[in-house]
Amino acid sequence: MNFIHASDFHLGYAQYGLIERFRDYARAFHSVITYAIDHKAEFILISGDLFHKRNINAPTYEQAYNVLSELKEKSPSTQVYAIEGNHDLAFHQDGKSWLEILNSQGLLRLIRLKEANGVKLMGDFVELDNFRIFGVKYLGSSTNSIIPQIAEEIKKINAALGEKYTILMMHFGMEGQIKQDASGEIPYNSLLPLKDAVNYLALGHYHTQYEYDGWVFNPGSVEMITMNEYDLPKGFYHVRNNGAKLVTPITRPVRRVQIDMSSILTPEELYSHVSVRLEKEQTIQSERKPLIELLLYGEMNFPKSDVNTERIRNMLVEQFQPLWSEVKIQKSNSQYALKEGDVRGLTREQIELRVFSDRIKLDGRYRNNVEELVKTMIEVKKKAAADIEGKEILKELRWGFEKIKSNPPGNENRTGSKAEDAHQTLLSRMGE
């Protein structure tokens, strides 16, 4: 076993309007293909979003054509198998996507949904000596409902043709793997029908790496697509008999400097603080000029309009000689605000647990009930997001109340009315 799993190259993206960033995404694509050639990979999987736009320009197509042609020339036996991500899908008036054009030129093999041999969706698959590879393009909100059918059809094909190591490529985000809310996420429980049919679920869509339960793998993008991905794992998988190993190629360096403004009283004091902080930053050793973001966060003790961000940006230029730099001010007077460093690497569910716990702990009366209250709040949130009927949500609240009532905070002689207070607190905080 020796194959590459990558996704989300976003060829054609001129991030920040820079031609060098446009070239960076092609360099990242080329680095993966070169790695595959050097390591004699049997095949390469691209789980969607090879391109950044559905309607690409000629230079973007040329980038894809040149890299894939190099693979075909240097390692003709190494095939690329791809699916269409949401950025790759054809516009209705166009009829064909650019991945279909690459497919027609023999530069990659696009796996599509197809009715054949008694199955309605999974009729187009790749049959190799030791592998069977299926693919499903980006389906958006209909993904969740169609997973059981996909699983049944793959099982039917495997039963008819004999068991092989089965790979399924899909393009969606798994619930709880990024910090912000995102539409169309799939909870892990919804994937379980696939577990009996698939050995390796090769995902794309989210730009940071995650894997789950030994069979679900998402490599992330190779290059940074947004600054929100700063310092999070990403790259591509090299899969061999001993498992899937994340490989992180060298890309353009990115640096985010964060400064808490809460104790800074004047703009001049801020400039001095920034200068001292930048002098302490490690030098960036790279042939490529870095991307730099300075993030000022916390409570501001003076008007934001008094800050000369251009003066601060000039400090960044002097210190780093960057390709691009930006100064962001993220002021907050909320006692519930979390610093960026506090949540880095946490899933959205972990962040929610932390926020809910911190809010409940502010009221000492309910410290003994934090776990019960948080669990109930999370469950109610999930049910509300899934449009569950109100009576079911009320049932969840009642169950939470009963658990609190059985373990009132403080001493054992506290009355049930205190548990009622906890229940009312839960209701009020769910409404905030």
The DSSP line for 219-272 is ---SS-SSGGGTT----EEEEETTEEEEE------EEEEEEE-TT--SHHHHHH
- pLDDT (average), residues 274-302: 94
Say yes or no: 372 and 392 in one domain: yes
Convert the pLDDT of each residue in 254-285 to its tens digit.
Answer: 999 999 999 999 999 999 999 999 999 999 99
**Lowest mean per-residue pLDDT among 57-61, 63-67, 83-87, 396-400:** 396-400
Say yes or no: 6 and 23 in one domain: yes
For residue 216, what are the domain limits?
Answer: 2-247
Report percent pLDDT > 90 for the chain. Answer: 71
Say yes or no: 105 and 41 in one domain: yes
Whether residue 330 has pLDDT greater than 60: yes
pLDDT at 371: 75
Cross-strand partners of 217? 202, 211
**Lowest mean per-residue pLDDT among 102-116, 274-288, 361-375:** 361-375
pLDDT at 416: 45
pLDDT at 365: 62
Which among 149, 143, 83 is positioned nearest to 119, based on CA atoms? 149
Look at residues 247, 272, 305 and tell me which one is the last residue of a structural domain: 247
pLDDT at 414: 43
- pLDDT (average), residues 203-208: 97
The CATH code of the domain that includes 216 is: 3.60.21.10
Radius of gyration of the chain (CA): 26
Question: What sign does the CA torsion over 173, 177, 181, 187 have?
Answer: positive
Cross-sheet strand order for the sheet of 254-260: 254-260, 291-298, 324-331
Convert the pLDDT of each residue in 180-196 to its tens digit.
Answer: 667 779 999 999 999 99
Say yes or no: 335 and 357 in one domain: no
Say yes or no: 192 and 273 in one domain: no
Look at residues 300, 318, 341 and tell me which one is the last residue of a structural domain: 341
Say yes or no: 269 and 236 in one domain: no
Predicted confidence band of residue 431 (pLDDT cuts 50, 70, 90)? very low
Say yes or no: 69 and 120 in one domain: yes
Tell me how far CA of residue 14 lies from CA of 6, 20, 24, 354, 411, in angstroms. Answer: 20, 8, 9, 37, 63
Say yes or no: 170 and 318 in one domain: no
Whether residue 309 has pLDDT greater than 60: yes
**Please, is 223 exposed, middle or buried when counting C-beta atoms within 10 Å of its C-beta (0-12, 13-18, 19+)?**
buried
Whether residue 167 has pLDDT greater than 60: yes
Domain tally, the chain: 3
Report percent pLDDT > 70 for the chain. Answer: 82
E strand or H helix that includes residue 45? strand 43-46
Look at residues 229, 247, 265 and tell me which one is the last residue of a structural domain: 247
Q: How far apart are CA 103 and CA 90, in angstroms?
A: 14
pLDDT at 266: 96
Convert the pLDDT of each residue in 404-430 to its tens digit.
Answer: 666 655 544 444 444 455 555 555 544
Query: What does the angle CA 389 – CA 390 – CA 392 come to, to the nearest 5 degrees?
Result: 70
Whether residue 176 has pLDDT greater than 60: yes
- pLDDT (average), residues 29-56: 97
pLDDT at 432: 46
Predicted confidence band of residue 101 (pLDDT cuts 50, 70, 90)? very high
Convert the pLDDT of each residue in 312-321 to its tens digit.
Answer: 999 999 999 9
Say yes or no: 196 and 275 in one domain: no
pLDDT at 375: 75
What is the average pLDDT score of the chain?
A: 88
Say yes or no: 40 and 154 in one domain: yes
Say yes or no: 123 and 34 in one domain: yes
How long a stretch of residues is the chain? 432
Say yes or no: 336 and 241 in one domain: no
**Lowest mean per-residue pLDDT among 127-141, 176-190, 378-392:** 378-392
pLDDT at 413: 44
Q: How far apart are CA 327 and CA 256, in angstroms?
A: 10
Question: What sign does the CA torsion over 162, 1, 173, 56 have?
Answer: negative
pLDDT at 346: 67
